[in-house]
Structure formats: structure tokens, C-alpha cells
Amino acid sequence: MQISMFILGNNKILPLLETSSVSSRHSLLKLIACFIPRYEKCTCNECEVFSGIFGNTFWHKNISPTMHQWLNKQSSTRLPMAAFPHLRKICNSGFIVDSSGRNSYLIHPERMALPTLYISGGRSLLVTPHTSFLAHKYMKLHQPGFRHERVVVEGFGHSDLLIGEESYKKVFPHILSHIRSAEQGRIGKGKKCRKKALDWEADDQYEGLGEFGTWFSPFVIVLLLFMLLSLLVSFFI
């Protein structure tokens, strides 16, 4: 993230379309993004740049060609990068913090008095199922009077949970079911639910589900870093 912001300079908006007019800094960042290893490669240049910066957000087999075309040629044509320093603070903290790095959200569970549903893809991309496990446990502990559910959907990654070709029958029924259940009101088992949350084992039953070992060796990582440094040196000297 720091390298990306350094390369961009003052212009934090990265045009993704191949036909866009870009600066030399933007061109360099897009070139580096295309060479970063990822789970899936794509013939679409915009998709390669986006996944090189964020990581693969979906499994290609789960989305239709029409959706893929819309995402890369119409929806995500410009990528705002100004939020990356904030995202870096969240990643380093291990939980959500504000833009100054302060824990301003999780210290106020009383503000989240509502039913919740957590859906994770079982084939991990970007966000592992363990994140929804921790969020679900947090709400069961602090808001036991409301209905809190968690679902892990096999075969999905991250954004394909909502935009996948078969999301309507594999994901959205869980959302509709939770809405119907939540409309019935509170559970009314406060103390019992809180005790159950405290008694949970630390291990998630889905931990490790869908995890993928990296397909590139430490040597390749070092080589890529060397290539990146060489590009930067040749660019700024």
C-alpha cells in the first residue's frame, strides 16, 4: 500500500480503462499490478490491474461474462486510492479502526442493538470465513437479545457472493430467511445467549476451509521485489 501511494504521488485516482489517458506514474503502478501473483489470471487488462491491487475479489467461474464486462468496462473504471492508508491501519490493527487508528467502533456495542447476518464464502478470497466467525461471536456476546446468524457458502469467494450467477439460489435465500426471522422481533434469551457465546471454543469450525497455499516460492517473491525496485529506480532517476 505504501509503495502504491508513493508511486501515485498527489493524484490518488487511478484510471483503469485501457483507453484512459494516464500519467507515467499511473502507467507504472498498473504495470506492477499486472505482474503481482494472484489466484486467477484474466485476459481483461482492467481486471488484472484491479485484482493486482486488491487481490482477486471473485472467482471468475461464479460470475457471468455480462457481469464481468460491466464490472470492468462500466462500473469500476476509476479507482480511488486515497482510502488505502486507512485500510492499512485496519489491516495492521487486526480489527476496524477509524482513520486516525483509534478503536472508535468496537468499544460501543450498545449502538449495535439489531439483528445481524454474516455471510462468508467458503473458498477464501481476500476475507476469510474467520472474520465472520469473530463478528458473529462479538454480537452474540454483546447483543444476545437479538437474532444473529452466520452462513458459510461453499464455492464462493468475496464479492461473487452478491454478484454471482447462482447467488439468487445459494446466497440470497439466507438473506430473505434472516429478514423474515428478524421481523418476528427479539429472541428473549439474553443471559442464556451470552453464556453460550462465552462458552464457545476459540476455534472456528470453518477455519482453514477453502484456504489455498501460495503457488509462488520465496525466490519468486524476492525476484518480484527486485524487479519492482529496479522499475522504481529507472523511473525516478
Same domain, 195 and 117: yes
Asked if 173 and 118 sit in the same domain, the reply is yes
Q: Convert the pLDDT of each residue in 108-149 to its tens digit.
A: 999 999 999 999 999 988 888 999 999 999 999 999 999 999
The DSSP element (H or E) to which 190 belongs, if any, is helix 190-199
Question: pLDDT by residue (tens digit) across 42-81?
Answer: 999 999 999 988 888 999 999 999 999 999 999 988 888 8
Give the per-residue pLDDT at 218. 45
Single-letter amino acid code for the residue at 221: I
With b for 16 or more beta-carbon neighbours within 10 A and e for fewer, the 101-134 pattern comes to eeeeeeeeeeeeeebbbbbbbbbbbebbbbebbe
Of 28, 57, 88, the last residue of a domain is 88
**Residue 83 belongs to a domain:** yes
- Mean predicted lDDT score pLDDT of the chain: 80
Burial class (CB in 10 A: 0-12, 13-18, 19+), 181: middle
Handedness of CA 159, 160, 163, 168 (dihedral sign): negative
Looking only at Cα atoms, what is the longest distance across the chain?
67
Q: Flag whether 65 is in a domain.
A: yes
Domain range for residue 68? 2-88
6 with 63, same domain?
A: yes
Does one domain contain both 53 and 112? Answer: no
**Same structural domain, 116 and 178:** yes
Total domains present in the chain: 2
Residues 188 and 120 in one domain: yes
Same domain, 65 and 147: no
Angle at 8 between CA 225 and CA 99, to 5 degrees: 95
**Alpha carbons within 13 A on the beta-carbon side of 88:** 11
Cβ(196)–Cβ(161) below 8 Å: no
